[in-house]
Structure 1
Amino acid sequence: MLIVDDDDVDREHLRRLLRKVNAKVEIVEAIDQTSALQLLAEGRVFDCVFLDSRLPDGDGLDLVDRFAKLSTVVFLSGTDDKTVQNEALFRGAKACLGKGAVSLKSLNQTISLHS
């Protein structure tokens, strides 16, 4: 699984929850668009990509369609902007979660629906 998020606390929270869902899951992290795109350029493929809406070097929406071709994309947003969430779904995200709503239950539901 890949977590693309520039916030250390948010990445740590998601990493801990993912370990509770599956203790053996491999988790790779990227802190910006550049490092996420580098992983794609290296041919890395992930079952699931958790993609933050705002990154220091661009908009997370710009990455959705690139990752959605090979992976299940879960779009994470710190706001409840339905326009952005709808755009993420239109571009290929399978789910949109508010960062405040990311919990063990929501991850279990999201991963089981799309695995």
Structure 2
Amino acid sequence: MSALSTHVLDTMRGSPAVGVSVTLYLQARQLCSSLTDADGRISALAEALEPGSYRLVFDTGAYFARQQVETFYPEVVVTFAVTEDRHYHVPLLLSPFAFSTYRGS
């Protein structure tokens, strides 16, 4: 069974994005939700993921609102495929008007 972690970095500030709510979905079903820690990480968001198409929803609007920063993206949705039994890491590089993601290790 596969495991999942994530890491959110605030590229505007050059620091971890603390307290970002991240929710994992399998199709329309919510599986779990958690907040990023002081290092911007959720090291064990989910375990025992079966093969399939998953969505991570990052509540970036609430994160930037707490900082009184306007953002163009109130949420970021990353859809990814679990295809084999391994650890999946999905980092998010975030600023108020841009974001980037990649398959981490």
Structure-1-length-normalised TM-score: 0.26
Structure having the higher Rg: 2
* Structure with the higher fraction of residues in strand conformation: 2
Which has the bigger relative contact order, CA under 8 A and spacing at least 6?
Answer: 2
* Structure with the higher fraction of residues in helix conformation: 1
